[in-house]
Amino acid sequence: MLSAWRNLEVDQADLAVRRQDGAMVWQRDRPLTSLPLAWVRAENAHGADIYIRPARSHAWPLVFLDDVAQSLALEVAGSSGGLAVRTSPEGGCHLWLPTGEALDEEGRRDRQRWLAQQLGADPASTSGEHLGRLAGFRNWKRGGCWVNVLDATGAGQALHREVGSDRSHVAATKPRQLSARDEVPTMGRDNSPSAKEWGWACRMLEGGWDPERVYEALLGKASGRRGPDAERYARRTVERATEKVRRRLY
């Protein structure tokens, strides 16, 4: 888990130990390479739960989601270059997802809230500074089950995609299945169908949809209204939206 974080450009963390009496003991702004793991192992063996987050006082290109179904967590982690961590016997998972840009606490909160809606994650864990469980330790809240990394295979590739010459990966993650009819209100006073579709295309690209998938969905939305021009319109709209999102994220 810590190796995956380093690959995602996180190098400092806040470590928290919650003891059985409810007391929280903190280690803040610690380099990932010098976390007191022997100490937290001893605490965990005596019934304490172990939590971690990227150090709160910094901006990071990583956001957290809680209580994501295991099958969806694996799918999203694999497609986005993220990290899936199972925290309960029932299959509930944490997701740590790359954002392509360093976000401060407010930015992380906003991204988490939107992603939680798309993935059915816990909306109460979207504060921008929420703690997740550290893999390799027991979750005493769930009867002492082990917290395990399920998928970090993409995390080593995500950094290459984000800082290399190919920057087509422009979003935090792929959202759960959304209808092509879903609309995202656009800013300003333009409430025309084209403006709404422009806003929708930008939002889906920011949420991780592949441009070709956005094109196909937009073509279905616009075909009845645009007729023979729908294909050209959908392709041009997605091209412009992709360029806009790339400029915003990079």
Q: What is the pLDDT of residue 190?
A: 59
Confirm if 65 and 125 have CB atoms less than 8 A apart. yes
Q: What is the pLDDT of residue 157?
A: 46
Q: What is the pLDDT of residue 155?
A: 58
List the structure tokens of 51: 């939590």
Angle of helix 230-249 relative to helix 193-206, nearest 10 degrees, comes to: 50
Which domains does the chain show, CATH number per domain? 2-163 (3.30.70.1790), 193-249 (no CATH)
Residues of the chain with pLDDT under 50: 156-189, 249-250
44, 59, 74 from 20: Cα distances, Å: 10, 32, 31
Separation CA 128–CA 215 (nearest Å): 32
State the residue for tokens 């091209």: 239
- Summarize pLDDT for 220-238 with one digit per residue, the tens: 888 888 888 888 888 889 8
Q: What is the pLDDT of residue 195?
A: 84
Q: What is the pLDDT of residue 207?
A: 67
61, 84, 159 from 6: Cα distances, Å: 11, 15, 10
161, 165, 206, 233 from 239: Cα distances, Å: 20, 18, 14, 10
Separation CA 154–CA 7 (nearest Å): 10
* Gyration radius (Cα) of the chain, Å: 20
Q: What is the pLDDT of residue 247?
A: 65
Separation CA 39–CA 108 (nearest Å): 30
Separation CA 40–CA 32 (nearest Å): 14
Stretch (H or E) spanning 15:
strand 12-18
Q: What is the pLDDT of residue 173?
A: 36
Whole-prediction pTM value?
Answer: 0.63
- Summarize pLDDT for 158-186 with one digit per residue, the tens: 433 332 223 233 333 333 333 333 333 33
Separation CA 70–CA 150 (nearest Å): 9
Separation CA 232–CA 159 (nearest Å): 34
